[in-house]
Structure 1
């Protein structure tokens, strides 16, 4: 620590030897600095305050019905992005700043300067913004601020309208797309239902169809058993009756066998009824025709057998009870044949349903997927339509009341007094900087022309033994001369400080006046 202090004292003593050079440098640089500060051009600041009112009576009333963007956030972003190159170029044209611009380089320099000097300050939650600009000409400063206010208001309203129009166009395009998708999904679902109508049963599921066919088949089988039991009972009743004898000379085509003829007549009537409902390929029609042919062949065999027996043919009407029972037996046989055809038809339906059961899971999976796609497209379409109505309602609400209102609290005016430079602050700073320059100058001189101030420094630097030092004797004349020089030096320093103080006071008085 002692070495550091000793070194510092050595530096100060060396600088003291060149104090007059430092004082002269301080006066010279100070005079130049004072002149430069005084000659700085005055800059005038024009400002305006804008209040953005984002509150509206309709906002709480239309909550949930119309789209309400975060206007506060939009205004904050707008204030931060307002000073951009396109807006600055627009401002240059609006404020007639391009009249003095002749080259592209000057234009770029003007844009850079405006980007640095234009300021937008906000208070945050109050939505109160201050727009300011400094220029050497008061009128031009006002024009620039006025143009900036216009751009601020137009950007706020224009961006909202642009965003709304873009959103509406996008929603309209999406609605058209989903309309097309919805039509395609409906057509696919319709074609699938038509193609698999036999499995879907006209709205009935597979289990319902199987249950219905099983119930119908059971009922048909029960009716068949009842008809067969009735037929067998009639046959047992006819076992003890006398057979009908036909004359020998009766032509075969005119011979009547009641039990067979009655069955044929009943089946032909049933066949007429079936042909009115079904085609020739229907199982009931084919079965009935087959039974009729079998009965006719049976009649031929019966007639031939009776002829071979050689028996005489008696009168068929001689026993009315026997003939009635024969007719009843024929009706019962015809009914049995019809019920058998019905049972065969229901059994065929049941077999077809059982075969379709293998395809049913795949059909149900495809139907579920088609329904899911249709529901998704329908939901998205309805949502987009609802959003479009909300957007239209928002546009109407903005056009009627406005989501944000720009109020000019303090319009820009022509400044009467310059706002910069602050010469009252710059003058003492310039004086202090010049004084520091003088000190640095004396230090540099002391290092360029070093002087040994005591024998210890000489011995340390030369490395030679020091035998002794010669000191000067006290001389009153030289002492008084040194005192006068010191007083003159400190007077020069005081005069330097006083000069800058006087200049600062004078500038302050001129500014107040």
Structure 2
């Protein structure tokens, strides 16, 4: 800690010994800096605030979405300081008094663009500011910019809408002629190739219908044949007659009852692998092995009703199979004729599809153009006749007699601080370059030899008087620098007061 304090004292002592150098550097930098600040021209700022409102009562009804309204506001923000608008501002203010050529006008426009700022503050509020050498000129420029933007918005919307409608009318007229020619061509082709074109009653449609019906008939025929085969199997296992006992023989025999039950099961559709059918067949086999199951000698055989029912069902299914086969043959014959007829004109359907496709494309384009024209006409009427975009000046352009730039008091103070800092730095740097030792301890560290002592400087009366006189001069020069700074500040504020 003591070492740092010693170093600080040494640095201060080094600067103090070269205080005249520090003061000279400070004076030089301050005078130069203040001259540069004095040469900077004043700029006066004028500010205004406008509100760009979009009415939404009719806009929503005609398809002007909030995105479209926001896009209109953004477009206004981008074109507010366009070259065309700025050229109108230059011609309409005092800036155009000294403009004689297009090059001078372009230079004025670019200079004006760098001094104008348009900033969006909220959804529909904009702040417009201009910094120019005169407060009145800055206010006139902002006001003219607002007037030009409002005029261009109204006139521009109407001009754009009229140009768009003229273009769409020309396109619709051309598409209408092409659509009429395509429709006449399609009608003539349909009349020439009637019966061979796609659509209701065409060859292709009839072929598709025949294929679908043939597929259905094949499925039905497979089912009918399967049912007939199953019925033939049941009929083969069903006896044509049943053993019935005589009138005096008492109850029917067990074999007859078992055979009746088996016939009933087969009539209900049971297969031979069904457990009940297997059981009753085993019972019948046992009864036959025992000699008829106790049938009386006076019994007789009667027709089996289940067998008769199965025969009737088989006749019906055979008739159904025959009818399906006949229908299938007829369809195959019709399809062969249709295929021969279709192959006779292979390019008819393709040509018709091409003609119809061209017609549909033209019709879609025509309908789209008509819809867009109606929408644009209605939207244009809403935007121009009902003031869809409305300008409202919230804050009038201000007139300021106090320069907004440069901030001279701050710059003057900054130059003073920079000058003093540069002088101190120059004195300290010069002290570091000289090979002197301010203290005995530093000399001892540098030489490596012990230092016995140090002798203080002794001043006489004359030398003290001279040093005192020099200190007065130094303090006077330092105070003069501060006084010059104070005078410059007073002059700046007095000038502001006089122009206010």
- Scaled by the length of structure 2, the TM-score of the pair is 0.60
The SS at the match of 2:454 is coil
2:455 aligned counterpart, secondary structure:
coil
Q: CA deviation at 1:22?
A: 1.0
Structure-2 change in CA distance of 1:440 and 1:74 (3 Å): farther
Cα deviation for residue 428 of structure 1 reads 1.7
CA contact under 8 A between 1:14 and 1:450: conserved in structure 2?
Answer: no
Cα distance in 2, alignment partners of residues 444 and 139 from structure 1? 51
Distance of 1:173 and 1:450 partners within structure 2: 94
Q: Cα offset for 1:450?
A: 5.3
Tell me the equivalent position of 2:231. Answer: none
Separation (CA, whole Å) in 1 of partners of 2:4 and 2:180: 94
Measure, in 2, the Cα distance between the counterparts of 1:40 and 1:159.
41
Q: Which has the larger radius of gyration?
A: 1
**1:192 aligns with one of 189, 194, 208:** 189
Q: CA deviation at 1:385?
A: 0.7
**2:68 aligned to which of 45, 67, 70:** 70
The answer to whether structure 1 residue 116 and structure 2 residue 114 are counterparts is yes
For residues 177 and 119 of structure 1, the distance between their equivalents in structure 2, rounded to whole angstroms, comes to 47
Q: CA deviation at 1:405?
A: 1.3
Are the aligned partners of 1:428 and 1:504 in contact in 2 as well (CA < 8 Å)? no
What's the counterpart of residue 19 of structure 1?
A: 19
Shift of 1:371: 2.8
Deviation at 1:173, TM superposition (A): 4.1
How far apart in 2 are the matches of 1:207 and 1:121? 68
d(CA) in 2 for partners of 1:405, 1:480: 83
Write the deviation string for residues 143-188 of structure 1: whole angstroms up to 9, x where unpaired: 3223222222233234433442343244334424433442343244
Task: Pick one of 360, 381, 386 that aligns with 1:375.
Answer: 360
- CA-CA distance at 1:471 after TM superposition: 2.3
Compute the displacement of 1:404 (Å).
0.6
Following TM superposition, by how much is the alpha carbon of 1:388 offset from its aligned partner in structure 2, in angstroms? 0.8
Distance across 1 between alignment mates of 2:185 and 2:9: 102
Q: How many angstroms apart in 1 are the aligned matches of 2:373 and 2:32?
A: 71
SS in 2 for 1:393: helix
Indicate the SS of the match to 1:124: coil
Residue 440 of structure 2 contacts residue 454 of structure 2 at CA under 8 Å; is this kept in 1?
Answer: no
Distance 1:23 1:390 in 2: 79
Instruction: State the 1:498 CA deviation.
Output: 6.5
How much does 1:75 deviate?
2.1
SS at match of 2:51: strand
Question: Aligned residue for 1:59?
Answer: 59
- Residues 193/471 of structure 1: CA separation in 2 closer, same or farther (3 Å cut): same
SS at match of 1:427: helix
- Selected match of 2:126 from 124, 129, 138: 129
Task: Verify the 8 A CA contact 2:45 2:131 in the aligned structure 1.
Answer: yes
In the TM superposition, residue 95 of structure 1 has moved relative to its aligned partner by 1.8
CA distance in 2 between counterparts of 1:420 and 1:22 reads 31
The correspondence for 2:377, drawn from 389, 392, 395, is 392
Residues paired across the two proteins, number: 372
Alignment of 1:459-478 (within 5 A): 466=449, 468=451, 471-473=454-456, 475=458
Structure 1 197/512 Cα, relative in aligned 2: closer, same or farther at 3 Å?
same
Structure 1 residue aligned with 2:137, among 133, 136, 140?
140
**Alignment equivalent of 1:152, drawn from 130, 149, 153:** 149
Which shows bigger deviation, 495-504 or 391-400? 495-504
What residue in structure 1 maps to residue 410 of structure 2?
Answer: 425
CA contact (8 A) 2:86 2:109 kept: yes
SS of 1:358's partner is helix
Q: For residues 439 and 350 of structure 1, what CA distance do their matches in structure 2 show?
A: 113
Residue 453 of structure 1: SS of its match in structure 2? coil
Aligned partner (choices 408, 412, 435) of residue 393 of structure 2 = 408
Residue 165 of structure 2 contacts residue 373 of structure 2 at CA under 8 Å; is this kept in 1?
yes
In 2, the alpha carbon distance for the partners of 1:54 and 1:474 equals: 87
SS of 2:456's equivalent in the other structure is coil
Q: 2:98 aligns with which of 94, 97, 100?
A: 100
Contact 2:26/2:423 (8 A) holds in 1: yes
- 1:20 CA drift (Å): 1.8
The structural deviation recorded for 1:425 is 2.3
Contact 2:197–2:348 under 8 Å retained in 1: no
Contact residue 455 and residue 466 of structure 1 kept, 8 A = no
Deviations 1:442-470 (CA, angstroms, capped at 9, x unpaired)? 24544565544356767888xx7657476
